[in-house]
Structure 1
Amino acid sequence: MAGLAGPYLVAAVLALLLATVLAFAVPATTPASRQSYPALLAEPLRLLRTEPELRRSCWYQTTVFAGFSAVWTCLALLLTGPAYGLGAQAVGLLALVGGATMLCTPLAGRLVDRRGPDPVNLICLLGVLLSAAILAAGALGGTPGLVALTVGTLLLDVAMQSGMVANQARVYALRPDARSRLNTAYMTCAYLGGSAGSWLGVHAWGQAGWWGVCALVALLTALALVRHLPAPTPLPGHPRRPL
């Protein structure tokens, strides 16, 4: 028996076979861009610098995904701690609630088509803020706390995923010829926010427990809401500065 190395050896053989098949099956194509590979790698950074709407979408998703990651990073600490005394399996069962987002994101897409991404973003940000308030009740423990955690994580998941639909609709409308590069910039910012959120969540947990994590989610959402507010009308003779 190959032991622990067995599955990896099988996966390596299958990957090699798949690569061989693809080498013969995939038709030859012409590059969509004649830029060099280093230039293509730098293109998302240039787009972030030159496209204000891309930066706005990235900011929304960065803050919301940071709060999302903070909650799910610390949820295991809450459920396995003295307030509940549950096993790690409880976290997995709670995560199954997020499957409902598959039903909600198509509705969000249709709403974006009818109303545009901004109203959907506003609804989603307010939903995240409400979820932080509901999740805070999870610190109470017992059945009421579990109900609050279930409802709060469901609302958080739906708001985060629906907000992503709105943000990507805004991003893809900017430059149809550069959608992959726009998406690279957007997703990189989102996952950097998720990584930062996990780190901040653990520190908030260490300082103030579950209440601190929920306060962090509310603070991050407030930062996104401030960015969502319309800029004040400039006075005559004072042109608006680009963001």
Structure 2
Amino acid sequence: VRPEKIGEVVGFLMSGLLVGILLSTSLSGLLSQLVHWKLIYVVSAVLIFILAFKLKSELPYAMRIRMKYSDVFKSMAELLVSEKRLSIRAYAGAGAFASMSVIFSTIAVYLSSAPFHLQDMWIGLVSLVGVFGALSSQFVGKYADRGYGTLFTFLGCGFLILSWVIFYFSSAGLILYLIGFATTNLGLAFVHSCNQNIIFRIRPNAKSRLNAIYMTLYFGGAATGSAIGTYAWNHGGWIYTCMAGLALAIFATFFALLDYLLYRNKKPNVA
């Protein structure tokens, strides 16, 4: 990918990732309602095998740098230590994804209880409102290429914080929950697309390793957010859940602000 197109391409790929996450929720809810909740694991396994077969036949194999497998991990550890901006952006992404994961870990128990009492299928369909936010990744990527990455990162963090304010009042009506859910997905799409646009420019000859480090911390944040969301729900209900999600959104905002203060005068490496 040409350096000036990194943001646009990353945005396109992230749209696929985020839309896939949302559609999986809808599909699992539908299958749970019509057949059995365990069927989703069989469907997932089959789809993964099909995808693996397609990737094996479609993706080119190129070994540009000859490194031992153990050396790859050593170099990743060195990158994590030497490239401070990678760590900062990864923590911002981890906090943002953790904030949204609080929703995914509580959506079923919250919407199936009073005052909503929704069935599995309808709970799954709720996630469809987030698709429009996920599709914004490509739009964000284009503008990140034009130098608006920092602005869109802060907009994303702002959307995440706003979403939890909306969620807090969502017991008044399902429409508020839907608006909050859409806003959360929009915020995550903004932050994540801008993060990857920046980290891929840190060392153009180490994109895969940079991405591996970032995505490990990113999904580590998602797992942590799920655990925090479940704990908050079990110990304080929806109020504690909203407080946890808001705290994680603020955590992401802190690292976004730190990145801005340290690197606001640094031009991206597009060599």
1:224-235 correspondence runs (5 A): 224-229=252-257
**Which residue is equivalent to 1:130?**
162
| Aligned partner (choices 84, 91, 94) of residue 59 of structure 1 | 91
RMSD over aligned CA atoms reads 2.8
The equivalences for 1:31-110 within 5 A come to 31-110=63-142
Q: Say whether residues 1:150 and 2:178 are aligned partners.
A: yes
Q: How many Å separate the matches in 2 of 1:221 and 1:26?
A: 36
- Distance between the aligned counterparts of 2:236 and 2:134, measured in 1? 33
Query: How many angstroms apart in 2 are the aligned matches of 1:161 and 1:172?
Result: 17
CA distance in 2, matches of 1:26, 1:178: 19
Q: Which has the larger radius of gyration?
A: 1
Q: Is the 8 A contact 1:79 1:90 kept in 2?
A: no
Which of 207, 215, 218 in structure 2 is aligned with 1:187? 215
TM-superposed deviation, 1:119: 1.4
Q: Distance in 2 between matches of 1:90 and 1:42?
A: 47
Aligned residues: 216
Task: Give the partner amino acid of 1:50.
Answer: S
Cα offset, 1:30, TM superposition: 5.1
- Find the residue that maps to 2:66 and give its secondary structure: coil
Distance 1:100 1:208 in 2: 31
Aligned equivalents of 1:99, 1:120: Cα separation in 2: 18
Spell out, residue by residue over 1:35-90, the C-alpha distance to the aligned partner (whole angstroms, 9 max, x if none): 11111133322211111110111011100111111111101110111221111112
- Structure 1 gaps of 5+ residues are 234-243
* In 2, Cα distance between equivalents of 1:33 and 1:177: 9
Instruction: Specify the alignment match of 2:24 in structure 1.
Output: none
Q: Larger deviation: 148-157 or 214-223?
A: 214-223
Taking structure 1 as the reference length, the TM-score comes to: 0.80
Partner residue in 2 for 1:168: 196
**Secondary structure in 1 matching 2:65:** coil
- How far apart, CA to CA, are the structure 2 residues paired with 1:80 and 1:214? 17
Identity among equivalent positions (%) equals 25
Q: Is contact 2:159-2:183 (8 Å) kept?
A: yes
Describe the shift of the 1:36–1:145 C-alpha distance in structure 2 as closer, same or farther (beyond 3 A): same
In the alignment, structure 2 segments of 5+ residues that lack a partner are 1-38, 262-271
Letter in 2 for 1:112: A
Aligned residue for 1:116, secondary structure, equals helix
Aligned to 2:266: none
The answer to whether residue 237 in structure 2 is matched with residue 209 in structure 1 is: yes
Letter aligned with residue 127 of structure 1? F
Amino acid at match of 1:40: V
Give the stretch that moved more between structures: 111-120 or 127-136.
Answer: 111-120
